[in-house]
Amino acid sequence: MRFDKYVLSAEILANLAKLNFTKTTDIQYKAIPPILKGEDVLAIAQTGTGKTAAFVIPIVQFLQECQQQGKRGIKCIVMVPTRELAIQITEVFEKIAVGTKVKPYCITGGVEQDPQIKQLQHGIDALIATPGRVFDLVSQGYIHLERIEILVLDEADHMLDLGFIKDIKDLMKHLPIKRQTLFFSATINDKIKKIAYNIVRNPIRIQISPHNPVAKNIHHTVAYIEMDDKRFFLERLINENSESKMLVFVRTKVRAERVMLAMQRVGIKSKTIHGDKEQQDRLAVLNEFRNGDIKVLIATDVSARGIDIAHVDYVVNYDLPEQSESYVHRVGRTGRGRNKGQAIAFCSAEEKPILMEIEEFLGHEIEKVKITKKDYQEVIDLTSDENETNWRGLLVEEDKKPKWVKKRR
């Protein structure tokens, strides 16, 4: 359905046109009408399907109408699990609200609170925040939530994983009982479902592709590679796709740094993003990746929900995630919207039980890449940084290279 068929202001429609938003995605088509009507919504949709715009567009319309009616104060609060995600949702608000006088503002931890307090005192309409910092400012009396009319919980399952549920429940004590609540997530289980139904009131339930938790335009493969050999195969994959943006997921912050150093030793430029990085450093790295200044970004799961960058060609599960749901959120960084993407997993012998759990969660097996012993050894021989001359081996004729991974379609 075209956006101009909805009852939206001229300013919002003009902004959507500038963003090349002409037709709704499935989640937008199903979510926008009930949100505009003021109904509670419980939405389960794959990452990369446009669910941020699905709630931002009708909320900006509502906030613009509030301004026209002379209503003041924060009317909407959006709670998210990570700083990066908060910033990116704020950017979507800002783009859609151009010319409307609707003021969104982002509050997260990891930075000084004084500038945030100053901005709050100037007045805002929508607050996008991580639970810890916003609860701190509520406790100190700098944020007043008694006029909130819309509460949004985005990536709610991950918020619970990170232990934010107490903060959320405490925060909700400050919210009006009569409000609109929007609950968005890419995955849901019985625990999260129970919490969700304690928050929403007679919600409109929306579930996009319930039998396939990941987007159809992502091609999934897995290669059986031993833990100590993964760096050689990553090096080979990067060099065979040197112009592609590649997001590499590892299990720990320490491992992220080690993988970066391993790539550095063989002349591959990469950066890391994880919880030990200062907020300004994390934003700088994301901008470098977004702009293409670096092609390889190595990340931990904390960052999986906060990376919304167009045209990520490959997601590499260098380490398989411990939770099946995390696989969905990792691979959701590629194949976003109508773009195609590649999800490649490196699975060691000790990770095979995890792979089985992921496949069970997906409801199907992941395509296995067959690597002969000869090809496996050749990748190691040609990429080993222990022998400088092996680097030149990457320049061998194309027909001599083992095709252990498919090129992008």
Q: Which two tokens stand for residue 175?
A: 């919210």
Q: Which two tokens stand for residue 158?
A: 């991950």
| Contact call for residues 360 and 374 (beta carbons, < 8 A) | no
Q: Is the pLDDT of residue 51 over 50?
A: yes
Cβ-defined contacts of 254-259 (< 8 Å, 24+): 255/319, 256/298, 256/299, 256/300, 259/231, 259/234, 259/298, 259/318
Between CA 172 and CA 181 the distance in angstroms is 11
Give the mean model confidence (pLDDT) for residues 309-332.
88
| Mean pLDDT lowest among 14-28, 99-113, 183-197 | 183-197
**228-247 pLDDT per residue, tens:** 999 999 999 999 998 999 99
Residues 315, 336, 89: CA angle, nearest 5 degrees: 105
Q: Which two tokens stand for residue 189?
A: 């289980």
**126-176 pLDDT per residue, tens:** 999 988 888 889 889 899 888 899 999 998 777 766 667 777 778 888 899
Q: For residue 282, give Cα distances in angstroms to 241, 275, 306.
A: 25, 9, 11
DSSP-derived secondary structure for 20-77: T--B--HHHHHHHHHHHTT--EEEE--TTSSHHHHHHHHHHHHHHHHHHTT--S--EE
Sheet holding 126-129, edge to edge: 104-107, 126-129, 76-79, 150-154, 180-185, 41-44, 204-207
Look at residue 399 in the predicted model and tell me its pLDDT: 42
The top-scoring range by mean pLDDT among 19-28, 173-182, 350-359 is 350-359
Name residue 168's amino acid. I
Look at residue 404 in the predicted model and tell me its pLDDT: 54
Place of tokens 């990792």: 330
End-to-end CA distance of the chain, in Å? 28
| All domains of the chain in start order, with CATH | 3-207 (3.40.50.300), 218-400 (3.40.50.300)
| Contact call for residues 74 and 125 (beta carbons, < 8 A) | yes
